[in-house]
Amino acid sequence: MSGTAKTHYEVIVIGAGVCGIYQIKRLVDLGIDAVVLEGAAGLGGTWYSNRYPGARFDSESYTYGYSFSRELLEEWHWKERFSGQPENLRYLNHVADKFDLRRHMQFDSKVTAAHYDEEENLWRVSIADGRELTCRFMIMGLGLLSIPTLPRLEGMDKFKGRSFHTFYWPHEGVELAGKKVAVIGTGATAIQVIAEIADKVGQLTVFQRRPNWSAPLNNGPISQAEMADIRARYDEIFATCARTPGGFEHEPDRRGFWEVSREERVKLWDHLYDQPGFAIWLRNFREIFTDEVANAEFSDYIADRIRRRVKDPATAEKLIPRDHGFGVQRVPMETRYFEVYNRDNVNLVDLSETPLVSVTESGLRTTVADYDFDIIVYATGFDAITGAYDHIDIRGVGGETLRDKWNDGPSTYLGMMVHGFPNMLMPAGPQSGSASTNYPRGIETGVNWCTDFLEYLRSHGHERADASAMAERRWTDHVTKMYAIMLMRKAKSWFTGYNSNVPGHEAGRVRYFVYNGGSPKYVATINEVAAKGYEGIELSGGRMVSAARTAMPQDVRI
């Protein structure tokens, strides 16, 4: 659809993932003149790109799907409790087709720049193919895990075999039988891909810098009868998701960690270890997130589980994290991951002992050995949360760049607006309710809020909206303060903005990326802001900003 002659839209949505798809649905339903610009060749975002073997949900499928259409809920059969990438992509395409959304999307349309034009009160959006579009409102559906990162290794272009980041796993598939394969990384993606390919390759060598805590996903099929039961319970399921901090079906154990005996704690953990999904993390005692001693006791329990599953004691010890406790970062879920290391064709290289030095023509070199490979898989994660924003030259009032403004970490109002960047909305932005939760639940909330806001502006004759500097400061302070009680503040993870492969994001500076107050509190806060006439946001008519400032958000309970 690129190449259409139309150059101005009321709203431009950037990104056609879970967020962009729902956002355009809401706009089209309201008759708002809008378009989605998507850099990839198809829709689906995360589920369009990550086609590596083993890519799947860690959210229960039926809690991940959209909740906005009863008809959609009634007709879709999730085949697995934790559905895989091909099915997830089919689902998102089905949604787009069902609601005839594809005709509002332009693919292969990567946005390279977006400059706010103060004179005209509009955004000038540049696309990689040379086009420039304008819009009054710009909605960012860029994704928080959409910019893959590679390690900074010498010689990466010299390798004669095939190499790719998991995000770019070839769409036509890769012949693995008999091949010598390296996987670099042991994060969430690596844990999925390693377990899936270990018995399909000739030799597998895993290069691990830091191990991650992980626990069984306990996936399984969903029969017709089970799906019928889920359909009948959808209202209840979504009500539970709305009530829980993470937006999942899992509710924390309300008993105090220290109120029950050690035997009772272990009994709960034995039970949770066999439960599906994030139960082990989110149905646990709340103290594991905040109390160092409680967390250490539980981490020891999981460490013992690893020791029981890995035959070679030395390998087991290498797979047990020492630098952080269980659950202080989003927990990768696994399916027979630890048993992989009992296989004769699998080798674990501990990079904390023998770091990687370079990529060679035939493979990888560590400080002590050379390894030959046919394929190198970089499972090295993402420039998370703010990466996709940093990749666009976004300039607001007075030419200020968002990249500079966020150099030390993001600052936002409600995770949805940024002072000095009027009419730019982020339904699932940094510091919003999405990043630390079951994403689509947060995304639907964010999209609904942004859409209602646009309706409000339209009905009140406002054409310009900018979060006040004070509102932004208060929100960002609030998000920052919440880290203080969480053990996650100490983890080297994407919750704290750590990524050794992104310049400036190496260890040392904590970035306050996610809102930790839980979904119910977040939703209550943003609804209150709306109810108070979008308190904290400076609203005005057309080209001139009104001198009268709206009230500061003193009264909003955050």
Ligand X SMILES: Cc1cc2nc3c(=O)[nH]c(=O)nc-3n(C[C@H](O)[C@H](O)[C@H](O)COP(=O)(O)OP(=O)(O)OC[C@H]3O[C@@H](n4cnc5c(N)ncnc54)[C@H](O)[C@@H]3O)c2cc1C
Our finding on whether 63 is near ligand X (CB under 6 A) is no
- In angstroms, the CA 433 to CA 426 distance is 11
Total site size for ligand X, rule CB under 6 A: 35
Cα-Cα-Cα-Cα dihedral sign, residues 336, 341, 343, 346: positive
Rank residues 190 and 558 by Cβ distance to ligand X and give the closer one.
190
Name residue 127's beta-bridge partners: 111
Applying CB under 6 A, the span of 142-150, 169-177, 261-269, 453-461 interacting with ligand X comes to 142-150
Our finding on whether 145 is near ligand X (CB under 6 A) is yes
Our finding on whether 105 is near ligand X (CB under 6 A) is no
Please tell me what DSSP assigns to residue 288: G
Strand blocks (E) in 306-438? 333-334, 346-350, 356-359, 363-366, 370-372, 375-378, 393-395, 424-425
Q: Binder to ligand X among 15, 53, 246, 276 (CB under 6 A)?
A: 15
Q: Binder to ligand X among 439, 513, 522, 534 (CB under 6 A)?
A: 439
Our finding on whether 189 is near ligand X (CB under 6 A) is yes
Ordered alpha helix ranges (H), 198-275: 224-232, 234-243, 262-273
Rank residues 214 and 295 by Cβ distance to ligand X and give the closer one.
214
Our finding on whether 149 is near ligand X (CB under 6 A) is no
Rank residues 48 and 413 by Cβ distance to ligand X and give the closer one.
48
CB 487 within 8 A of CB 475: no
Our finding on whether 428 is near ligand X (CB under 6 A) is yes
- In angstroms, the CA 532 to CA 471 distance is 14
Smallest distance, Å, CB 262 to ligand X? 32
Our finding on whether 46 is near ligand X (CB under 6 A) is yes
Q: Binder to ligand X among 12, 18, 316, 457 (CB under 6 A)?
A: 18
**Residue list 356-385, contact with ligand X (CB under 6 A):** none
Radius of gyration in angstroms for the set of CA atoms belonging to the chain, rounded to a whole number: 24
Rank residues 55 and 491 by Cβ distance to ligand X and give the closer one.
55
Applying CB under 6 A, the span of 15-23, 206-214, 229-237, 238-246 interacting with ligand X comes to 15-23
Applying CB under 6 A, the span of 36-44, 173-181, 207-215, 284-292 interacting with ligand X comes to 36-44
Collect all residues with Cβ–Cβ distance below 8 Å to 434 and sequence separation of at least 6. Answer: 144, 415, 427, 428, 442, 443, 445, 446
Smallest distance, Å, CB 284 to ligand X? 18
**Helix (H, G, I), strand (E, B), or coil: what is residue 181?**
strand
Smallest distance, Å, CB 304 to ligand X? 27
CB 283 within 8 A of CB 252: yes
Give the per-residue contact string, 457-476, with ligand X (x = CB under 6 A; - = no).
--------------------
* Residues found in the chain: 558
Rank residues 433 and 536 by Cβ distance to ligand X and give the closer one.
433
**Helix (H, G, I), strand (E, B), or coil: what is residue 346?**
strand
Rank residues 59 and 451 by Cβ distance to ligand X and give the closer one.
59
Rank residues 189 and 208 by Cβ distance to ligand X and give the closer one.
189
Name residue 349's beta-bridge partners: 207
Q: How many CB atoms neighbour CB 454 within 10 A?
A: 24
Q: Binder to ligand X among 45, 53, 429, 430 (CB under 6 A)?
A: 45
Rank residues 81 and 474 by Cβ distance to ligand X and give the closer one.
81
Our finding on whether 246 is near ligand X (CB under 6 A) is no
Backbone angles phi, psi at 241, to 5 degrees: -60, -40
Q: How many CB atoms neighbour CB 58 within 10 A?
A: 21
Our finding on whether 23 is near ligand X (CB under 6 A) is no
- In angstroms, the CA 191 to CA 335 distance is 8
**Residue list 111-140, contact with ligand X (CB under 6 A):** 111
Rounded alpha-carbon distances, angstroms, from residue 193 to 106, 184, 187, 327: 31, 11, 10, 21
Rank residues 15 and 536 by Cβ distance to ligand X and give the closer one.
15
Rank residues 59 and 386 by Cβ distance to ligand X and give the closer one.
59
Which tokens hold the place of 95? 């949604």
Our finding on whether 491 is near ligand X (CB under 6 A) is no
Q: How many CB atoms neighbour CB 127 within 10 A?
A: 18
Collect all residues with Cβ–Cβ distance below 8 Å to 100 and sequence separation of at least 6. Answer: none
Q: How many CB atoms neighbour CB 200 within 10 A?
A: 15
Our finding on whether 288 is near ligand X (CB under 6 A) is no
Our finding on whether 191 is near ligand X (CB under 6 A) is no
Our finding on whether 142 is near ligand X (CB under 6 A) is yes
Q: Binder to ligand X among 11, 12, 32, 50 (CB under 6 A)?
A: 50
Smallest distance, Å, CB 45 to ligand X? 2
Rank residues 392 and 414 by Cβ distance to ligand X and give the closer one.
392
Q: Which residues of 519-534 are buried (b: 16+ CB within 10 A; e: fewer)?
A: bebbbebbeebeeeeb
- In angstroms, the CA 492 to CA 507 distance is 7
H/E run at residue 37: strand 34-37
Our finding on whether 392 is near ligand X (CB under 6 A) is yes
Rank residues 371 and 439 by Cβ distance to ligand X and give the closer one.
439
Our finding on whether 38 is near ligand X (CB under 6 A) is yes
Interface with ligand X (CB under 6 A): 14-20, 37-40, 45-46, 48, 50, 55, 57-59, 64, 110-111, 141-143, 145-146, 189, 388, 391-392, 428, 438-439, 443
